[in-house]
Structure 1
């Protein structure tokens, strides 16, 4: 009958209305509030459709222009700290009973001791807060890479120490500055390999070795040579050859650190502690082999515990060890790891060539050394090299993961 059909249709309509009101009570309530000729819900919908998306007054490329400059400024600040190492080391090793082996062991021992508790705490805290499906802060691969990075850095320090036995500090510094050339070459080789191994190559020129990327590094090395050698390099020695361990060791350390930080930026603190621990072990081995450094033979080598009394009894030596261990080593290497998340190794190694300039300035202030015309000429070349690298920088450049 028609009455029953109407009744069923009425029930269905009522049920549908109740269901709609139950599912969307807020919309149902707003629809009952009149506002002119339209309901509030219609007004809200119209406003939501018409309001434009909030836009930044700056273009994306302009918003973060300050961040790269700021992080490069951090690298410059690290150069200032590391440059003060030379003056501090001279003051410490001028104290009776303190040689280079004891100084290195004390410096890196203090650095590891101060950084290790914070590194362990950060790893444990990350493990407690991480979910079961999250990757740990320190996995086995990161641990291995950090140890390898520390081994390369220790290799650089070993070459520096052995080289200084028969070469001058100025020549050693110039050879060390060549790490920017080494880093530029290796980074460019890795970049070309990565593009060549990719299945799609959009630009053939991108897969070619760009020699222009080496120009800033070469200009910087010339500037360092003018600052340090001042026309008095002297005849080549075996120490010069040993000093070439510096650009290789330190350069590989920069490249590996960049790759680690690209994959694990949150692991800056434990990676720094592991690096320092490896360098400290190498310093201890060098301390045990110190008789060879002083003209002894292998028969003179015997296991001995280091005697830190010459440092503890000297306020100058103790202050220098605390400064270099805590500030210029532990703190600086931790900040370096963080900075390498933002700054490519090629740029960082180039900026680090300014270290001799700050070393000359620290020497002039602390040790009364002079800062002459050649220093200003070399400084101009180094600064020009840093500026040139900015103009030659490829905007699409990214860390090459190996």
Structure 2
């Protein structure tokens, strides 16, 4: 693909220009979904893509598609992209890199007058982050049938504002059917790693082979309130029962090791205390558990061991512990042919690369349930993401973009005269 005039500098300049929309004092971005700033970012992307010969469509949940026709109108589009929305204290690159790297492909192909056999389609998915409207990945979820349109449009933010009404207010509620995106021919997504495996290994490109299985649980510990000055003996302190269980969750994850040496992952991200008073031993604790693993069987075993440990602690402490299933996402393999195409591109272009999974949810994970899909990872400094300090190098961005372009154009085919 040496005749395609891809520009790493133009990609970087575009990233920096987009970062001015919702830029924060600490150098990050606050461009949350369905805000006026989100609308501004969408308008900028539209102007850039239309200047590169693309036609825009917007569906009923706000997903933007920017399409460049191919020679063979009967062929399904080869799609690529990510998301422009950010966390409240997000960085410049999470999601945005994938969108603007895709834009650079469209610009370069347009400038060179290259015609592809299949159409090329850049997608900006709505509300990948889920920071304002939960859950995340609503746009791709609605498109792929994981969520219904009705439930997405009815979601409310913490202030009670309704998703569908806010989408209409900022002018980005279209009339296209999101389900039509199930008919694309392939989907490729470039994203920052949001971890430090690539940086530690000295690799420029991550070839993403699959998404880890995820199992989320909710735990309620019920004990009995006691005055902070009462004797310790006989207390049924819910927090003192929750504490060893939380510690055990990390231990269980680290012990769930595959033959290749890959352990599980577990996080307690939310915890509430009742009655939340300085001088009362709590009677009720609620907390969330997020578990992930390469091996679905080991993931299931982790949940079983957590429940067994909870039963032991409950009996010892004189409390009750209830563990409920909250959400499950299966291990999702990416398309072997596309994965191979990405790997071949990295080798052909001379970039140091490694195969790896994603332990983090992305739009590509939902899309992969319906469409041949793969991902490409770019390193990020220290693995820091969802943080204003998120940082990558121009060279990393360009490497990921060039591998993406090579794989996209190999998939779409360049028309021969």
TM-score (normalizing by structure 2):
0.24
Structure showing greater relative contact order (alpha-carbon pairs closer than 8 Å, 6 or more residues apart)? 1
Bigger Rg over Cα: 1
Which structure has the highest helix share of the two? 1
